[in-house]
Amino acid sequence: MSNILKNDREVVIPGECLAEGMDYLPGDNTYREGEKIYSKILGLVGVAGRVMKITPLSGPYLPKTGDKIIAQVFDITMSGWRFKTNTAYSAMMNVKDASSRFIKRDEDLSKILAIGDYAVVTITKVTSQNLIDLTMKEPGLHQVSGGRLVKINSQKVPRIIGKQGSMISLIKDKTGCNITVGQNGIVWIKGDSDKELLAEKAVKMIEARSHEEGLTGKMEKFLSGGASQ
């Protein structure tokens, strides 16, 4: 006899039993002990067919290949730049991944990206030891200039973007700002200064109320009201 002990989208804490019996399989952030499946992290239960998984509600960002993040240069080496990634690990970007133009051997790398600069970059490789390689060569990747950076919990990033980008395009439409969301929880907002402030407020609000339903509608109301002030 196998049965699920928790409902879909229920909040569970580490060590709570999710299901009994061998008919279910442990997915992300769960583990099996004997016949039972337990949660390994605080989060929401997800049942996908026979697989039980947990979507974390808080926690650190785990770097993944292909993620677009916003990172800060903190060191320049012979062969490239080292970035802070808002995780426990720093990332490396090689000279050849910085620009599509040819960078000469004796060029001053700090003219391209100086220490303290932020850039929108993509993760090209993550090793088992969490060494991270970055690139800035793909379209849409560039140095961050002007605007403001907002730090949020990286687990809330999908909420900021919304289904098929519905939430983020709503904020962009209503405020006229350019917004780039890094998967590591750093959001770059650039536009008119009062609109920037409104967009920042909106992002913070989504972060604080991310577990609520119908948030896109609420945000639309908030942004329409705020924008007309």
Cβ-based nearer residue to another protein, 126 or 187: 126
55 forms part of the interface with another protein (CB under 8 A): no
11 forms part of the interface with another protein (CB under 8 A): yes
46 forms part of the interface with another protein (CB under 8 A): no
Q: What's at 131, amino acid-wise?
A: L
At its nearest, how many Å lie between another protein and the CB of residue 200? 17
58 forms part of the interface with another protein (CB under 8 A): yes
Cβ-based nearer residue to another protein, 41 or 103: 41
Distance, in Å, from the CA atom of 68 to the CA atom of 186, rounded to the nearest integer, reads: 10
Binding mask 154-173 for another protein (x = CB under 8 A): -x------------------
130 forms part of the interface with another protein (CB under 8 A): yes
Cβ-based nearer residue to another protein, 154 or 175: 154
208 forms part of the interface with another protein (CB under 8 A): no
Cβ-based nearer residue to another protein, 48 or 131: 131
DSSP E strands in 57-193: the ranges are 68-76, 80-84, 90-94, 118-126, 132-135, 142-143, 148-151, 178-181, 186-190
101-139 burial string, b = 16+ CB within 10 Å, else e?
A: eeeeeeeebeebbeeebbbbbbbbebeeeeebbbbbeee
Question: What SS3 class is residue 112?
Answer: coil
* Token pair of 54 as six digits: 């947990």
Binding piece for another protein, criterion CB under 8 A, among 71-79, 81-89, 106-114, 140-148: 81-89
Q: What's at 187, amino acid-wise?
A: V
Binding residues (CB under 8 A) for another protein: these are 11, 13-17, 29, 31, 33, 38, 40-43, 56-60, 62, 87-90, 128-130, 155, 209, 211-213
